[in-house]
Structure 1
Amino acid sequence: MNPKKTRDGLLSFSNCGTSPESIFDAMIVTKKDYQKEWGRQGYHFVISFQPGECDEDTAMKVGRDFCEKYLGDAYDYCFSVHNDHPHMHIHIVFNSVSRYTGLKYRYVNGDWEKSIQPITDMICEKYGLSKLEYEKSDKRIGKSYAEHIASKKNAFTWSKIIRADIDHAITISENLDDYFQIMKGYGYQLRIGQSEKHGKYVAYSHPGVSERESKKAHRDYSLGKDYTLARVEDRIWLREKKQKTYIIPSMSEIPYLPKPKKNRFQVCLYNRVQQAYAFQFLDLRIESQIRARKDLLHINQIAEEAEYIIKNDMSDFESCEKRLSEVKAEIKQMKDTGFADSEMELTADEVADRKRYEEIRSILAKKEDQLSDEDFENLSDELENLGEKYKEDPLVLSNQQKNSKYETLNEERKILLRILREKPIINSVEDVRTTKSKDESKQFSEAPINNSLEDTPDHKESRRL
């Protein structure tokens, strides 16, 4: 936050203080609160632009957008735009300990390309800048803990989807009967019951629920206090009275995907992701409404499939089958020939170090979720030290490259197998972009609802949603 590089501090921002001293103190307080003053203290990212491409104000917007998108309020952070070089660049420093969970941030090789690069690409596109290139380094061994924790905290569940449906239905309902008909239009089967503890309740079940849970209904009181029958009725009444008492939470940000080319295969995969996030607002058939909700439960995998197809410019299932055959052949060849070169030229200590290096890599890749923060950092440091010790050793480098290639091929194989297995689903995706109006959303059935809710209309035949 050097004033000589930041226009006397005008090109700096933090979510935890206004000076280097106050920011540092805030970060230390977070560490002390969770008794995690040990290990890695913080992380430093640098975002640089080509000379003359970006001005100070735009760089500030990029820095702010990136920190809000990637770190949010989960970590203490500060960033500064430096104008002391021909190329404008942003320094971002953030605490290693989350101020919400007390968990430590984690980063492993490949996370920049997998989870951070898409964010910078989206932001650069927003401000008319060219996409950034990741500067690779042998020393970057560390999983984005932001992604690690978000994958669990923000993972879609049926409870979350039901809550979002209820929130949306309330915004377009004029009374409780209207609300029930809209929820049935979304595909829900509803049952009203009486609980000694909770009183009158609604149980929601949906055909999109997995087979294992197909008979399970979610009772409204298990969804939270804002989703009980009495509270839903209050919220509808308050909305009609224009009293804004409840903010509808966002489902999630749509993941960044490159634009598909104009062939049906790529468009179907692209639309599948988009529709999963916007299913409440699109003119989808009931079958597609159900499919979109089911897709949300595995949205990261589905987005990965779409991104793979678009980036590799694959045009049909036949090209996927061809590539799968090639990948399987490469994997078989690697298994037949072995990954490592001869170890005859290595000493006993070097052989032991190499085995330890591969052992740690395997632990971090397969058991990361089971490790404590301290164990993860210790193993990461040991791995980094071993990599640094032998980074000039061609045998070690060769082995690392082969293992990395094998892992990449194996991941590609899994993606291709999923795509081919989901062929009927992908082919069923409609190219629907029409947004439902409030009036259209309310045109379900005029039949009154009763306590058994057995009068659910068959919307497959009656209308498109």
Structure 2
Amino acid sequence: MATTSIWRVHGWLGKLVVYVENPDKTENPAFYEKPDMTERETQGLSDVIEYAVQQEKTEKAETDDEGAEIMQRFVSGVNCTPMTARDEMIAVKKRFGKEGGVVAYHGYQSFAPGEATPEMAHEIGLRLAKKLWGERYQVLVATHLDKENHLHNHFVLNTVSFIDGIKFYRSEKDYYDMQKESDRLCREYGLSVIENPKRGKSKHYGEWRAEQEGRPTWRGLIKNDVDTAIRRSMTERQFFHALKEMGYEIKTGKDISVRPQGKERFFRLARNLGEGYTIEGIRKRILAQTRPERPASSRGAEEKRYRLKGSLTKTKKATGFRALYFHYCYLLGIFPKHKPPQRRQLPFSYREDLIRAKELSDEVRLLAKHHIDTTEQLSAFRSGVENRIQEVVSSRKVLYRKLRTKPVMQDEEKQAEIKAEISALSGQLKELRREVKLCEDIAVRSRVIQDKMKAAREGEKSQGKEREQDVQFRRRGGTNRANEP
């Protein structure tokens, strides 16, 4: 069986084209991510796409009768050439004056494990693209081979028609037609099909990919909290109380809607998680339990002893940004890696940052490496990196000009030497621009972390007062009943 989805893409088309041909190469080289590229830098995009298509995701090695290795590539273009797809798509946009708004549609078609071969999957994807969009639009089709038994196609669809400039708009009918044609092709090739699929909210590709890679998602965090609340309850009232204790706001109706602390929108349980999360489904799961699960307690935990070397009085304590990030990453369990599991439930606003665990780790490493604690130190470090970027860019431009001179063009060894120097400088630029981006993120995220920790502390105080009032109320009720005749 094959599942399909397609969604709008805003921003920069070049990065999307490179990603679809190989998601591991989206940051190579880094200057693709800059929206204010010069005309000369844009000309280099063809080199990037050429680099991106020579990679493991879309290639498979085979051997011929003589034992020689043959590489098969699985990247094709409909009404465009893969090597110049980005330039051809932008040329159509410029011709009709429609360069803004939605720049492309990004779709995927995922096959059941072990059902299709790479050749079959790519052929099906190419036929699907030609059938749906081939008469009017340019499409890049790439088959990813990132897992042995998991094949999926990616599509980059230019929004502007090369025939008359009319922009593509994905309606519900287009989405249905994509599913229907995909199923027809799967039946033709002898693959399984989901019969009578249920209508519902589909997953965004980013969420689907995160689940495939084992990374947390917002939907997954909410689902785990609801499951935990069910396991800890013997009645519906206890279930809702457990969710409130976790910081959720709740609305009940035909569907149960919950909103984590700090989020603007409510999340409908049955609509997003299935029939097991309707009020009836939750009630059945609660009644099926013989006893509630109790939260983990620190009592009885094995005691550990550590031997300290050196003097605590001489140890410099981390302050500012470093102290904030160290404490926050410790709470989340990002480091140390072998930290014991948390004994208390962390607020949802904390746990959602596990989705960005790698970003947090990169930022804290930058702070620790360069001993950055204050806003002034962060700003000074960023300015130094930006100055270094200008120097490297200037040096690379000199090499580009030298590469086009007649003596160098006639000397292949000199060309290879200069290209190696350019490649080295591009690598430096990638790292330097990454550091600038980390500085920008730290400046914003540090304030967000402080606000989250403040809100969490206030929430804990509020919950503590509510528990105390509840205990006092029960005591008064118990006393009154004791004094009754």
TM-score (norm 2): 0.42
TM-score (norm 1): 0.43
- Specify which structure has the bigger relative contact order, considering alpha-carbon pairs within 8 angstroms and separated by 6 or more residues: 1
